[in-house]
Amino acid sequence: MRWIARTFLGVFAVGWLCSAYVYLKSQQTINRSHVPEPRRVALVSGDDIQNEGARLSRIFGCVSCHGDRLQGQIVYEHTLNGRITAPNLTRQASNLTVNEIEAVLRQGIKPDGTSVFVMPSASFAAMTDRDFSAIFSYLLQLTPESASPKPTDYGLLTRYRMVRGQLPAAAQQRRTQPWRDTFRASPRRLGEYLSTVSCSQCHGLDLQGVDGRAPALGRLSNYDRVEFGELLTQGLAPAGRQVAGKADLAEQRYRFLEQEEVDALYEYLKQR
């Protein structure tokens, strides 16, 4: 019986040491300080820009994570993975400067210099000043919500993914510079922009797909323009069958696309 006890203690000790290593190594990544690139953002105001910000906050996924009123919510919670929380943006908007919010959104760097995780800042990096200004203006006019969801608490498996590089710090990801707002007259460029800021959040920054989550966005040989629009905005396959996962995305995000934006995405993706 002694060898059983020793074996058990040995396994427990190895497991404890491995867990300690993962925790300490991941904490180094979490605590690492980053310096945001200083940028000047010319904000635009007015009812039109606020309405556009409300629309873009859905298309770009802000509402999907932070809640219908951007009040914050728990996005995911699991015993081993821990808890991922999207914070209450209506309260942060009054406490942070426009430069601090820009650094979080497009550079993945929080006011204390640490990086965000999970939030797709590498996708948002391409967001134009106009679109950033619209979302920021919309956020400022919202009534602050009192909700205080439990904060993010990274579990062991999430920390292990950090150590393996499978969950990189957003501040360290490859990112592009914000696009200049000179492309909207070109459908193909508009489609590329929307793909870069929105589609890349699931399909990867290069749109080549993410294993087990989303396929590569290649040529749309199986879809005509109408079928693509129905897939994107209604979650329907060509035969009218509902595509798993797409219907929720369509309802939460892509039904708010304008027709010219749907057509632009089709033009760009069919030529990739």
258: CATH: 1.10.760.10
Q: Are residues 70 and 203 in the same domain?
A: no
Q: Beta strands of the chain (E only): which ranges?
A: 73-78, 82-86, 153-154
Same domain, 242 and 169: no
Strands of the sheet containing 73-78, edge to edge, are 73-78, 82-86, 153-154
Distances (CA, A) of 162 to 27, 151, 241: 9, 18, 37
Q: What is the pLDDT of residues 192-205, one digit of tens each?
A: 999 999 999 999 99
Judgement on whether residues 103 and 205 belong to the same structural domain of the protein: no
Share of the chain above pLDDT 90, in %: 69
Q: Which stretch of 28-42, 115-129, 135-149, 231-245 has the lowest confidence by average pLDDT?
A: 231-245
Residue 27: pLDDT above 90? yes
One domain, residues 74 and 161: yes
Question: Regarding predicted confidence, which is higher, 258 or 94?
Answer: 258
Neighbours of 75 (CB within 10 A): 17
Same structural domain for residues 140 and 44?
yes
216-246: per-residue pLDDT in tens?
887 676 788 999 999 999 999 887 788 877 8
Q: Are residues 74 and 204 in the same domain?
A: no
> Does 69 share its domain with 43?
yes
Question: What domain range includes position 266?
Answer: 182-272
Domain boundary pick from 129, 148, 173: 173
Helix or strand (DSSP H, E) at 26: helix 2-31
Q: What is the pTM of this model?
A: 0.91
The per-residue pLDDT for 166 is 92
Does 105 have pLDDT greater than 90?
Answer: yes
| pLDDT reported for residue 83 | 97
Q: Are residues 246 and 111 in the same domain?
A: no
User: Domains in the chain: how many in total?
Assistant: 2
The pLDDT of residue 223: 84
- 127 Cβ neighbours under 8 A, 6+ residues apart: 60, 105, 106, 178, 179, 197
| Residue 272 pLDDT | 81
Torsion of CA 25, 29, 31, 37, to 10 degrees: 160
The rounded percent of the chain whose pLDDT value lies above 70 is 93
Predicted confidence at residue 16, as pLDDT, reads 74
Please indicate, yes or no, whether residues 140 and 258 belong to a single structural domain of this protein. Answer: no
Q: Are residues 137 and 263 in the same domain?
A: no
Domain boundary at 173, 191, 209, which? 173
Task: Show the tokens assigned to 163.
Answer: 């150590």
Q: Are residues 2 and 79 in the same domain?
A: yes
Q: Are residues 195 and 100 part of one domain?
A: no
pLDDT at 10: 67
Q: Which residue, 173, 190, 222, sits at the end of a domain? A: 173
